[in-house]
Structure 1
């Protein structure tokens, strides 16, 4: 085992390397965190692994906002064996009191010997290093790029107090979401539909415009076994909502309508009206975050999609391309602007991943 003192030690961070086994344990903690991404609300997804004498004795993940944190889950599983053990955590253990006590207290109370974490939490002032070391516990950080990518958008979203935003588009190869006659079902194939169900499962809410709801009568559910149905968010400035449509009667998840119509009301038990004098996207995003939406999927028509892209309110852009040419006018082009954009001012993205889905292509992009 070797200890490497880096310049980061000035900030109370030490880096720890213990070969392949360390990588394995920390990797398991990160994979646990990735498995719960999208179900922890405005809290970060965290995984933890407790190890003693080369044997895993506890596993944990933060399963839901307000419930036990990953470290607590893992230590509870380890029980009395946790004394003298090492805990590997995807994110630096917390020190603040919220809906649950600080994780550092649990680590100290159960006599763990060492803490190794992948990413430092930059969203809150934390003295976990000082608190743990004063209790005689060794604390190390092993930076992991995969873990950093997991938390990068979370850090940005928490700083801005808005959800992490994924914009999803299904389109022809000439960028059309529908024909000029409004036909849109279905441009992409069944494999894409299954992938979109999984995408919805990993988000707290899905947002769309009222025109899309009226045109397509969608449900925005997750049709996978034990899938989590996201909250449905509808933007309807005019309040012209048709409550006879399917989604208003399945009661699989709540529906939140944002409108400028103060007279809009309903008696449906799972439908909630949010009145705003001016339904601006940034204000809606802040309200969603206050209500506990940590990850938002935008699954809408060209108008709403373009609003998010124009205002650069996007962390991840996912485009599903079908090998079809639709033609016609630009009415249903997925990205539209009133003015012509100079090439020097275009919105640039980087391709993170591309996948072939039975002759349809999935492009995953991030804003540069």
Structure 2
């Protein structure tokens, strides 16, 4: 069997309801690695024996023990004859740490259930376990579920381009600012804290030039989760209009600032930004701004595997219209901004028709409500999730 074959290596039956429940716990553990393990995937592991929890583990830091090893260390001899639940196929290669498949065999586990096949260099662990007589069940979840914990890892492994999430703070009437060029504070402190922790798990935080000039943001991750590597700050700036005195260049903690400018940007402005400490890259123009293919190539060349886009309206609309974004976070504030306000999107966008579906359930963050949507895309095996079911998504951007 090809070690990269996503089919089960040795499967005596599909996952049970209990299997899926324990995998759900493993996914929750995996998320504890947010912002700490890049470029490795976030992985969680649960060890169960006779229906009882024995131990839990997760990949907590880059270069540290993998989730399975973490859990096995906690389980000790109790792992012998147990079932191991892990969100990603146990690795079968020697990297910074020994293969997890070998550790599982040495521990004497009887059964391994994994959610998703490893699309990268770690593939082959399931086949090695099966050859040694371990019962292996996996992939045990459909791709859209198994990959939701760390979609950027899978997207990069399969496409070599950044996985993109879009985050917008909007009013009840779908606006992001009270008037053009006016900075409007919409979100409360709880939502702000959530955004800082969200940034910690991305390779880059990106805004358009208008947002950079109007809001003058730092774009750093200043929450409870301190990232192992601070996210790069990126500005899409066709005319190189970002002031050299912008706060992200003069006040922020050390992390790179990348300005992507158009080929017709004045050379003097480019030199001024470089003198202020920014990296400047010239990319091709597209309709209404920079060419998004050129933008994603420039980011991929810099090993940017995940991007959080925080506005503004033109950037957000372009990403959704051209199907570039993969996840959408809307922070809805409990007030309306009125008929003169700047809408979140520059044109109506029917998200359900465009293949978006509800992700996590709505969540309250202080006075704000967080709505999350996922774009249903074909999986590596050609499958496609069910059509969008979030009816309220159709109203987004209608104003």
Task: Pick the TM interval, shorter chain.
Answer: 0.7 to 0.9
1:191-210 CA-partner distances (Å, limit 9, x unpaired):
33233223223433211122
How do 1:1-368 and structure 2 match up within 5 A? 12-15=10-13, 20=18, 25-51=22-48, 58-78=55-75, 85-98=82-95, 100-122=97-119, 126-141=123-138, 143-144=140-141, 147-151=146-150, 154-228=153-227, 229-248=230-249, 249-260=251-262, 263-264=270-271, 266=274, 271-278=277-284, 280-322=291-333, 323-328=335-340, 332-337=342-347, 347-352=354-359, 353-368=361-376
Query: Which stretches in structure 1 are left out of the alignment for 5+ residues?
Result: 1-7
1:142-192 CA-partner distances (Å, limit 9, x unpaired):
724654533556434432222222111112233322233422321333333
Three-state SS of the structure 1 residue aligned to 2:343 is coil
Three-state SS of the structure 1 residue aligned to 2:223 is coil
Distance 1:84 1:345, change over 3 A: closer
Segment of structure 1 superposing worse, 297-306 or 122-131? 122-131
TM-score (norm 2): 0.73
Partner of 1:3: none
Segment of structure 1 superposing worse, 239-248 or 95-104? 95-104
Segment of structure 1 superposing worse, 228-237 or 284-293? 284-293
CA distance in 2, matches of 1:224, 1:266: 29
Q: How far did 1:299 drift?
A: 0.2
Query: Contact between 1:30 and 1:47, CA under 8 Å: does it hold in 2?
Result: yes
**RMSD of equivalent CA atoms:** 3.6
Q: How far did 1:84 drift?
A: 5.3
Query: Contact between 1:197 and 1:221, CA under 8 Å: does it hold in 2?
Result: yes
Query: Which stretches in structure 2 are left out of the alignment for 5+ residues?
Result: 1-5, 285-289, 377-399
Query: Contact between 1:48 and 1:61, CA under 8 Å: does it hold in 2?
Result: yes
Three-state SS of the structure 1 residue aligned to 2:192 is helix
Three-state SS of the structure 1 residue aligned to 2:329 is strand
Three-state SS of the structure 2 residue aligned to 1:165 is strand
Query: Contact between 1:206 and 1:230, CA under 8 Å: does it hold in 2?
Result: yes
Distance 1:275 1:132, change over 3 A: same
TM-score (norm 1): 0.78
Q: How far did 1:25 drift?
A: 4.7
